[in-house]
Amino acid sequence: MPSVLFAAVPLAILLVTALVVVIRSRRRTRSRRPAREPSAFVLLADNAWESCTVDDVREPWSRYTTEPIRGFCGVPAGRHRIRTSMAAGDATLDFVVYPGEVLSWRLDAEHARWEPHDLDAETRSMLEAVPASSTDVNASARPRLPGWLVHLRTTINLVSSRPHAPPAKADGDAVDRVRKRFTKLVARAQIEGSEMDSELLAGARSLGDALVGRPLTRKDMHALVGAARDVANRLCANGDFDRAMRIVGLGLAVLPGDPELMVVAGCALAERGEADEALRALNAALERDRCLEAADVARAMRARMELRSRLGRSVRV
């Protein structure tokens, strides 16, 4: 009997040790939650809110704020479309926004168009300091968002929950399907002549329309951009700047104004001798340098400095 007890002791120790390891590994797995990407802010100065549609949703937006409305918080990263109807026509704003960005435009009602708007430094700093998730911050230190913002994600979900309303767009596998189709489109553009440009561009626009209002991650957006960026960069390295611009044009039809693509566009336009257009593209990219890799920022700054030096203009760093 004692021999049996002595034999059971090591086995019991082994079982207890294994149990402790399993429990600790489960706790460690539960604690490894993926980092939450911050949503973005979109401010629209002088907008006619009563006739404004956002991602195909039209609401009395001012009812969702406690102060005169100025824009949106809780904007999911991805492509969005804002359309405001006026006597002069529809002013349509197609854009992409990355996690944590603060973008601002002003409505020119006379010409029915949107123009970039310089946001005051205090407001921009306040919005950029908002954490990705307020639940990660102690209640006493949690920043309070201004009452003039509408939380877009919450509002869209509220609208989609109404009877007979179309469901809110989810990420799912639709993004991967768009990426694969766009990659094939870019491959066609490399081998087909310019006479097919209109057909290819129409295909790219159709793919871009499928992304409007659909939440994307930073990884999703880089994958979509990469399909055009990598090919265009390779063409630029080979001196084929015209074909590179065709590829970039397809990318911008899917993700309008994407800063990574604007860097490539600026560099290609500079090589083609279109200095003013190149500067506009490079400036637009560098204004959103928070979305760019360090190498892209350096490339854009170098190209801009060379252009300004060539044109005899003052060089800004």
Backbone angles phi, psi at 102, to 5 degrees: -125, 110
Domains identified in the chain and CATH numbers: 40-160 (no CATH), 174-311 (1.25.40.10)
Average pLDDT of 145-172? 83
* pLDDT at position 168: 65
Percent of the chain with pLDDT over 70: 80
pLDDT mean across residues, the chain: 86
Rounded to the nearest 5 degrees, what angle is found at the Cα of 300, between the Cα atoms of 263 and 75? 55
DSSP count for the chain of H helices, then E strands: 10, 9
- pLDDT reported for residue 169: 67
Q: Band of the pLDDT at 161, cuts 50, 70, 90?
A: confident
**In this structure, what are the phi and psi dihedrals at residue 30, rounded to the nearest 5 degrees?**
-65, -35
pLDDT at site 8: 55
**Gyration radius of the chain over CA positions:** 25
Condensed to tens digits (0 to 9), the pLDDT of residues 64-93 reads: 999 999 999 999 999 999 999 999 899 999
